[in-house]
Amino acid sequence: TRRAPHRGPSGGVTNTTSQAMADDAPTETPMEVGEGPSLGEADVPKEPLDLNSALQMVLKKSLAHDGLARGLHEVVREIEREGAQLVVLSENCDQGDYKKLIEALCHEKNVNLMTVPDKMQLGEWCGLCKIDAEGNATAVVKCSAAAIRDFGEETEGLAIVQASLKTAE
């Protein structure tokens, strides 16, 4: 059968089928916003036990709510705009100058800074990877820094991260 787009009564484009389609053939229903699988929800731990899994949960929720800046350029821009609430920096960053710059900017603008041991792990937590059918991360892109400008929603992981930041001060 041939599908032809046309404007529906609400003004949006909908797909219709020609009359050649059988009446008993299954039809597709449009997917509403918010339906279907979300970004990486399967690999977010349900109950964080340690700081790393709590930070992973916070990064995933922030990414889902479009509140995550990834990479040096975006992170520096968020810090300078004073929009960053938390910056996560990898300890094994290739460029020492990157680490010095981000640490100095965080200190100057009074932004909380946390470190993680591996940039590949941070890249996976920030959604810079593909998820295969089994739910494993593949083709992970390294990420040396990430800034959270919006935590998204209140979670147990966020409470653990904020408690850790308070004890570090």
- Count the neighbouring beta carbons within 10 Å of the beta carbon of residue 12: 8
Q: Where are the domains of the chain?
A: 50-168
pTM score over 0.85: no
Rounded to whole angstroms, the Cα distance separating 150 from 127 reads: 16
pLDDT tens digits for range 134-157: 888 778 888 999 999 988 888 888
Domain 50-168, CATH: 3.30.1330.30
pLDDT tens, 47-58? 547 888 899 999
Convert 142-151 to b/e letters by CB count within 10 Å (16 or more is b).
bbbbbbbbeb
CB of 72 within 8 A of CB of 145? yes
Q: pLDDT band for 87, please (50, 70, 90 cuts).
A: very high
Burial code (b: 16+ CB inside 10 Å, e: under 16) for 29-59 equals eeeeeeeeeeebeeebeeebeeeebbbbbbb
Query: Which residues is 98 bridged to in the sheet?
Result: none
SS3 137: strand
Residue 92 neighbours by CB distance under 10 Å: 15
Q: What is the pLDDT of residue 10?
A: 52
Give 124's DSSP letter.
H
